[in-house]
Amino acid sequence: MGMLKDIAPKAATGGVDRARRLRRAMTLPEVLLWNVLRTRPAGLKFRRQHPCGSYVLDFYCGDARLAIEVDGEVHSRGDQPMRDTARDRWCAKAGIAVLRIPAAAALGDMEAVVRGVVAAALARLPLHHASHGPPPRAKLGED
């Protein structure tokens, strides 16, 4: 499977410690989704609470440059929608697509959510593998 070079921005100062704290405080929908994503569906590797710039992404697939955000009800309140939009814009500038999943969907139909995550990640992988030298030569006597 071809992979994109992961050139995601590094964590800002304190980002790794913040990510570690968030890993210990994951919400139920995040825990349930992580239990599936950690098994590497379709051979895709995901990280949880991945520090990236001044943000911590809920889940991140480096090969596909895809962030997965599980949005609970709090994401519709106060200035949170504006903050989510700013984060999405920042990710886009860094070449990272953001897939937002309502927490209710993760609780209601995890199978459908995982299918959507895998489809979104696979769609972002390069179509062709990088060339690793000439094609293998046929064994002697085979032509």
* CATH code, 73: 3.40.960.10
Is 8 inside a domain boundary?
no
Read off the tokens for 97.
């697509």
Structure confidence at residue 18 (pLDDT):
59
pLDDT in tens, 46-84: 999 898 888 889 999 999 999 999 988 765 677 778 888
- Residue 33 to residue 111: CA distance in whole angstroms: 10
- pLDDT band with cut points at 50, 70 and 90 for residue 141: low
Read off the tokens for 79.
């200035």
Better-predicted residue by pLDDT, 101 or 80: 101
Predicted TM-score of the model (pTM): 0.73
Range of the domain at 46: 15-123
Is 128 inside a domain boundary?
no
- Residue 27 to residue 37: CA distance in whole angstroms: 15
Read off the tokens for 76.
């519709």
The rounded radius of gyration (Å) of the Cα atoms in the chain is 18
Is 133 inside a domain boundary?
no
Is 67 inside a domain boundary?
yes
| pLDDT at residue 1 is higher than 70 | no
Stretch 21-29: mean pLDDT: 75
Stretch 117-139: mean pLDDT: 71
Could you give the 3-state DSSP secondary structure of residue 90?
A: helix
CA-angle at 19, arms to 26 and 61, nearest 5° = 85
Give how many domains the chain has, as a whole number.
1
Mean pLDDT of the chain: 81
Region of 84 (left: φ > 0; alpha: ψ -120 to 50; beta: rest) is: alpha
Structure confidence at residue 9 (pLDDT):
62
